[in-house]
Amino acid sequence: MKLSKLIKSGFKNLGVNKLRTGLAILGIVIGIGSVIALVSMGEASKLAVQSQIQSIGSNLLTVSPGSQTSGAVRGAPGGATTLTNEDAEVIKISAQITTIKNVSPEYSGRIQVIAGRNNSNSQVVGVEPAYADVRKITVSYGGFITSQHVFRMSKVAVLGPSIAEDLFGENTNPVGQTIKINGNDFLVIGITKAKGGSGPTSQDDQIYIPLSTAQKQLFGVKHLTSIALEATSENVMTKAQNEVGYLLLARHKLSDPAEADFRITSQEDLLDTITSVTGTFTTLLSGVAAISLLVGGIGIMNIMLMSVTERTREIGLRKALGAKKKTIIQQFLVESIILTFIGGVIGIILGISGFYVYSQVSGSVFVVTVQSVILAFGVSVGIGILFGWYPARQAANLQPIEALKYE
C-alpha cells in the first residue's frame, strides 16, 4: 500500500473516535511543550548571566579572603580579614606583576540608608577611582569618586539607579541631595547608568562611597572584602592569576599554595559555575517534562491496543484477503506516528508561544534554539514508532480465522 493511502486511511481511522484521539494527542502536546519552554528558559537564563558578566568585564579578576577555588594557585579555607590595603598597593607597584592594568581595593557591607521618609538596607561599597574602570561603571548624572574624596575621607556617595529610585522616587535627579548612611550625612554626587540585573550583587542596587570613609568612619575596619583586578587582556588571565597569587603568598609569608588564605576568581570561573548550575536545573526540569512524554507515549500505546481490539474482525478479513504482516504493521505504525506528529507540532507551537509570553512578562531574553525544536520533534516521532510498534505487531500476528470469529 502506498504511503499516501496509509496516511489517508490513518486519518480516517483516528477520526472515528475524536475524543479519544484528542486525549492521546494532549499528553504529547504537554510533554513537548514543556520541554521546549523549559529548555528555552534555561538558555535565556544562561544568556542573561553571560550578558551581566560581560558588562562587568571579561578580563576581570577578583581576589577575596578565604580558600582558593580556581586558578593556578589553590588553597585551604582562611580568615575573612586577610586582605589589606597594603596588599592592593603592592599589586599596583610590584615589578613582578606584568599582566594587571588596574587595581581596585574594595570594602562592602549592608547598612541602613535613609533619604527623607524612605529607607533601605543597602549594599554600600567603599571604592577608589579605579573601581569605575575595573568594573566598567559609567555615570549618567554627576561624577564618580575621586582621589581627593578618598584622601579627605569625604562623605559623598554615588548611587546605582535602582537604589536612587527607591530612595528618591522615579524620574528624579538626586545629585546634590543628602542621604543618611548609618546616621551620617552623605552628599549624593552621582548616579550610575543602569546595567541590569537584580539582587544584592547588582551594581544598580549599590551605593559607592570613598574607601577610606567606608573603612574608618562607617565600618571601623582595616581589611578589604575584595580586590578587583583588570588584566591587560583576556589572553593573560591564567598568567595574571599566577602572578598575583604567588605575590600574595610571599606577602602573607606562605610557602605552600595549599595554605593560601585568599582566592582568585575570574569572570570565566563565575560564568562556568553559573552555567553549570543553570544547566543542571534545566536538565532536571526537562527530565520532569520527559515524564509527561513517557505518560503520553503509554497513552498512545493503550489507544492503539484498543484500536487493534476493536478492529480485530477487520484485520482478520484483510489477512484472509491476502494482506501481509508488513502491511498491517505499517498501517498501525502510521496511525501512531500521525498522533505523535500532530501532538509534536502543536506542542512546539504552544511551547514557543508560552515562553514568548513568559519572556514578555518577566523581561527575560526570548530565545528558542533550533536544536531544542529538532530534538522535541524527533522525540515525538520516536515515541510514535516506539509505542506504536507493539500494538502494530499484535495486530499483524492475529490469525485470520480466529480474528474473523472475534465478537
d(CA 76, CA 298): 52
The pLDDT score that the predictor gives to residue 77 is 40
What would the pLDDT profile of 77-90 be if each residue is shown by its tens digit?
A: 434 678 999 999 99
Ordered by start, the domain boundaries in the chain are 3-52+272-405, 60-266
Strands (E), 160-240: 178-181, 184-192, 206-210, 226-231
What value, to the nearest 5°, has the Cα angle with vertex 228 and ends 222 and 233? 155
What are the grid coordinates assigned to 194, written together?
Answer: 543602569
pLDDT at 69 over 50: no
Q: Which amino acid is at 299?
A: G
Q: b/e string for 128-143 if b means 16 or more Cβ within 10 A?
A: bbbbbebbbbeeebbe
Using CB atoms within 10 A of its CB, is residue 251 exposed (0-12), middle (13-18) or buried (19+)?
middle
Whether the per-residue pLDDT at 120 is higher than 80: the answer is yes
pLDDT of amino acid 74: 42
Percent of the chain with pLDDT over 90: 30
pLDDT in tens, 396-405: 676 666 655 5
Candidates 152, 170, 171, 165; CA nearest to 202 is 165
pTM comes to 0.62
Question: pLDDT tens-digit profile of 182-230?
Answer: 889 999 999 999 876 555 567 888 999 999 999 999 999 999 999 999 9
Residue holding cell 522616587? 169
**161 vs 13, which has greater pLDDT?**
161
- CA terminus-to-terminus distance, the chain: 28
